[in-house]
Structure 1
């Protein structure tokens, strides 16, 4: 299903998105050496419930996971890149941590992810380069979005940045439509051909999420049935924003205070 939202619904999405952005930045600031991933999950749960919102993850049970997910945020460390299931692990200085969060509030969802190096980017230069590449790719994808653009235009913009940075691109998982539910059509691959796919129009909300692994495009799944890791054990990074297509471009909804 491809859902086109009304201006009122997009406005509600903006509020949800700001909450997602604020929670991610709050958790990032609190995540230091020694922080346990289960603490991060508990902090996130409290902030979601205090805001009168709902987690999109707790009862999430898609075909590709061993559901329900049962937690409030995805926490992926180092070689883990997607759907990281929070567990009893304390962060070390220099760990590369991805936080991925989706929330539903007032009937509209928003989804975003950030990756950062615990203790600062200087502790893990390779991780910093991966993160920077995904951030540039996300900026390129957003810049390509607007009414009349095609999904392939966004995929091509994202993929060009990632491949020029020297990283293989996996096409199993990518961006997606979002609205009254977290995952909707259209799928937004992280590489593709321009001029192909669904034509964007105002009211469409998309979650764009470039992610890469340093030296492989192959994923493996943990025994937990959820956490996806690089097949070679290399470092990974993932950056995501929810955007709304407007009459004259695209607006990022998942910035803190947006």
Structure 2
């Protein structure tokens, strides 16, 4: 039986990954900040599917927490066959108006945690010549987004990082996949302080997290480097930047997000 480690596993896409993989008889290592939510999810899935679940409550914005996750897994002799770097968050507003501490925390979680956990687990997969890593990027990775500048930049990093690793590892038996969802049903918009009273927010079409997860796992089975998931509209959005001058593109996107 294989084992998957999922970060940000307590809610949203991470939780749905856990449930889908559990239904496929995959043992789970669940990582997030909330001990209670992880314990409840672990109990539910281990009882329903007779799988082994391990809970590691850590705040991955710190290097010590990332190393603690790895050390816990090693100490328990758990082999991670699939690493899902899902933990991350966004923030809405002009960069200069937002708390710098929150921006730096976002960089630590969205970028540094992904790089460090990948750096810790990838060599073990290479040694076995078997394993897979899914890094959760976003359709925001395909163009700069004013008023979500750090978030979009962090997801662009994840996309480029993952595609490069895909090329480095495709002949080594390790699959690397960047998934790029669009708007998805989750707690993302609450944490990002999106103004819910606006028309733009209320008419935003949200994909289900379950659909995003199933599309992502199909893409992994095909050994793709990148998968834009969550509906055909997202395919159009990520390809538009190729057709527009960058100044025009950023200006249009800026106007759209300024009035959310």
- The TM-score range, normalised by the shorter chain, is 0.3 to 0.5
Structure having greater relative contact order (Cα 8 Å, sep ≥ 6): 1
> Which is helix-richer, 1 or 2?
2
State the TM-score, normalizing by the size of structure 1. 0.32
TM-score normalized by structure 2?
A: 0.32
Q: Which structure has the highest strand share of the two?
A: 1
Compare CA radii of gyration and give the structure with the larger one.
2
